[in-house]
Amino acid sequence: MLMLFAPITLRSLTIPNRAWMAPMCQYSAATDGPEIGAPHDWHFAHLASRAVGGTGLILTEATAVSPEGRISPADLGLWNDRQQAAFTRITGFLSRHGTVPGIQLAHAGRKASADRPWRGGAPLGTAEGGWRPVAPSPIPFSDGYPAPEELPAGQIRRIVADFAAAAERALRAGFRVAEIHGAHGYLIGEFLSPHSNHRTDAYGGPFENRIRFALEVVDAVRAVWPEELPVFFRVSATDWLPDGQGWSVDDTVRLAKELHAHGVDLLDISSGGNAAEVKILTGPGYQVPFAARVRAEIDRPVAAVGQITDPHQAESILASGQADAVLLGRELLRNPYWPQQAARALGVRPRRPDQYLRAT
């Protein structure tokens, strides 16, 4: 069987194929009132269509574990019962149509309280519905961003508890995979990198201290997440900064070993997002070498992401052992039925719902 359409089992969960949907924020949740942070018809249609299209695992967009953890006021959250109940409609549909529902739990840190991207994405003040962001150190993300509040140790512990509480809600809502968002310059990634973490306490300085918050979050989530279900961790493999100035691929390999020792089952390898000034040269599969190196050095499952658009390209990544799954983002925005079309291109019978069998 072709690797792209071979099942993969993590703990006791079997995912039917290895064409997965990457988390992509929709910035479309209600911004006030009782429905704040809850998914609605847009999110249902967006995610359900990719399940009908044959995606093996769908990871929801970054879902905030607390109100101040949202990237924008229009982000999804999972800190109350109404949000939890709204997610069950989505997870039920995905599961009934053969797709594993996964959630990405997140805290935006110093990049929180921003406007929607199509309105410019600028930081929002309190008069505009925003709030003061928090971070490991009071260092703005870039020019025009406010200095975040430096987190005291007690508030760090509260955020760790928020991740655990959100994971418990995710389980009750029907999710089968919990992914912890440690990438793209959001709060966990800010703690990891010396570019954004200038603390001198137990959460800053040497590598062992900078990874402490990430491991505490993993431990808290793993403690409430069922033993038989997997936990993922998304990491930016590099800040794309010169050696010694930020997080590096060497750091990622070291962290990967620690994460697996703490119960993480798969690393989702992305890059960048923590240093606004860097210019990243992108291209087809440009982040795959990061996933390949981590997989080679720790011999544990990883997923690759980043301009993976062609079925033969995806199959080659998997067949060559560079990754165990591929995550598609923009390509699935352009084409919800990419997995079905990839199957046909590779000579495999696509998975279709009964209602669409006449299209085979």
User: What's the pLDDT tens digit per position in 75-115?
Assistant: 999 999 999 999 999 999 999 999 999 999 999 999 999 99
Q: Is 27 a catalytic residue?
A: no
User: Does residue 103 contact residue 177 with C-beta atoms inside 8 Å?
Assistant: yes
Q: According to the model, what pLDDT value does residue 243 have?
A: 87
Question: In Å, what is the CA distance from 298 to each residue of 182, 227, 264?
Answer: 19, 22, 12
User: Does residue 52 contact residue 98 with C-beta atoms inside 8 Å?
Assistant: no
- pLDDT tops 90 at residue 351: no
Q: Which amino acid is at 228?
A: E
User: Does residue 62 contact residue 181 with C-beta atoms inside 8 Å?
Assistant: yes
For residue 244, name the pLDDT band (cuts at 50, 70, 90): confident
pLDDT > 70: percent of the chain: 100
pLDDT tens digits, one per residue of 179-192 = 999 999 999 999 99
Q: According to the model, what pLDDT value does residue 233 have?
A: 98
Q: According to the model, what pLDDT value does residue 352 have?
A: 86
pLDDT tens digits, one per residue of 211-231 = 999 999 999 999 999 999 999
Q: According to the model, what pLDDT value does residue 1 have?
A: 73
User: Does residue 269 contact residue 287 with C-beta atoms inside 8 Å?
Assistant: yes
Mean pLDDT in the chain?
A: 97
Q: Take residue 316 and report the two structure tokens written for it.
A: 């080659």
- Residue 90: give its domain's CATH number: 3.20.20.70
Q: According to the model, what pLDDT value does residue 141 have?
A: 97
Residue 206 burial (C-beta neighbours within 10 Å; 0-12, 13-18, 19+): exposed
Q: According to the model, what pLDDT value does residue 133 have?
A: 98
The rounded distance, in Å, linking the Cα atoms of 301 and 235 is: 14
Query: Which residues, in sequence order, are bridge partners of residue 270?
Result: 236
- For CA atoms 198, 253, 264, 327, the dihedral sign is positive
- Secondary structure class of 276 (helix, strand, coil): coil
User: Does residue 137 contact residue 93 with C-beta atoms inside 8 Å?
Assistant: no
Average pLDDT over every residue of 259-273 = 98
- Secondary structure class of 200 (helix, strand, coil): coil
Average pLDDT over every residue of 251-260 = 98
Average pLDDT over every residue of 177-204 = 98
Q: Can you give the residue range of the structural domain that contains 93? A: 3-359
- Residues 27, 186, 203, 337: which is the catalytic one? 186
Domain count, the chain: 1
